[in-house]
Amino acid sequence: MAAILVIEHAAAAAAQRREMGERLAALALLESAQLIFAAADEDLAREVTALAFADRATAEAVLRRWRAAGAVPADAAARVLRAAPAAKAEPPILLFP
């Protein structure tokens, strides 16, 4: 089952943001993960990043490696969520005679 890794932390300095960006790019090149979104709450000075992985074990392993390397800030809240497919509603195709 697919998994989503969500990391929320204090707004990072440019160097830290660049390091995380480089790690995300490496994962994308290896096709291990896909960046879903990166967002900032400027009022609270917080940033949130969400990554999609093929399975929970891979997401947890990446989080452990990043924490050990210091790429994820010590104050970061991180969790791995189980991803379920969502039904996509599309408008009906109109057929004309």
In angstroms, rounded to a whole number, what is the distance separating the alpha carbons of residues 94 and 97?
A: 10
Would residue 93 count as lying in a domain?
A: no
Residue range of the domain that includes 41: 3-82
Overall domain count for the chain:
1
CB atoms within 10 A of CB 33: 21
Q: pLDDT, tens digit, for every residue of 16-54?
A: 777 777 877 787 777 788 888 888 888 888 888 899 999
Contacts of 28 (CB under 8 A, 6+ apart): 34, 35
User: In 3D, which of 31, 72, 69, 28 has the Cα closest to residue 49?
Assistant: 72
- Residue 13 has a pLDDT of 67
Tokens of 85: 């497919």
Tokens of 47: 């940033």
- pTM assigned to the model: 0.75
Q: pLDDT, tens digit, for every residue of 51-68?
A: 999 999 999 998 898 888
Would residue 69 count as lying in a domain?
A: yes
Would residue 16 count as lying in a domain?
A: yes
Say if residue 80's pLDDT is above 90.
yes
User: In 3D, which of 17, 9, 16 has the Cα closest to residue 77?
Assistant: 9
Would residue 95 count as lying in a domain?
A: no
The CATH number assigned to the domain holding 11 equals 3.30.70.100
Would residue 91 count as lying in a domain?
A: no
Q: How far apart are the first and last CA of the chain?
A: 43
Would residue 96 count as lying in a domain?
A: no
Would residue 88 count as lying in a domain?
A: no
Would residue 34 count as lying in a domain?
A: yes
